[in-house]
């Protein structure tokens, strides 16, 4: 069940990327919809952990979207994405560099959450990015 909840969102390079406000408006909604669709697939405990890490994940992926200037077609793809599979399809359009940035952002958020000693950890089985090996 690797990458069930956060396979988040990067795109093929283009000089004209999404406006920063567009990333901030679209990415959190895509993550929320994906979480809603994954809720029935996760245990209550796993879903609680995912909810705890979600705010930082939204911030990190929004930042990657903005910094990598995702093209409008990728943003539009995420605008309607509602499941992990939908987001995986969007992310297949990313360059290797952009996937690496998304993977790093995801890994950093998970590592920070786990290091904070929340009492339970989040791993790639409940949170991940579609750029990771199992989703390619």
Residues 109-120 have a mean pLDDT of: 79
pLDDT tens digits, 67-105: 999 888 899 999 999 998 998 888 888 889 988 998 899
pLDDT of residue 18: 57
DSSP three-state, residue 27: helix
Per-chain mean pLDDT for the chain: 78
Q: What gap in Å lies between CA 58 and CA 81, rounded to an integer?
A: 15
pTM of the model: 0.74
Q: Does 64 have pLDDT greater than 90? A: yes
Give the CB-side neighbour count of residue 61, counting CA atoms within 13 A: 35
Query: What pLDDT, on a 0 to 100 scale, did the predictor assign at position 124?
Result: 44
């Amino acid at each position: 069940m690797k990458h069930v909840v956060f396979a988040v969102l990067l795109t093929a390079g283009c000089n004209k990327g999404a406006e920063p406000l567009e990333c901030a408006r679209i990415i959190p909604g895509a993550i929320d919809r994906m979480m809603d669709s994954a809720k029935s697939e996760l245990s209550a405990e796993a879903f609680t952990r995912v909810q705890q890490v979600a705010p930082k994940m939204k911030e990190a992926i929004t930042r990657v979207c903005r910094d990598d200037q995702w093209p409008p077609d990728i943003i539009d793809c995420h605008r309607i994405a509602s499941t992990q599979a939908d987001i995986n399809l969007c992310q297949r359009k990313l360059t290797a560099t952009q996937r690496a940035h998304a993977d790093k952002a995801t890994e950093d958020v998970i590592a920070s959450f786990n290091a904070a000693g929340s009492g339970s950890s989040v791993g790639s089985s409940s949170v991940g990015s579609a750029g990771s090996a199992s989703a390619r």
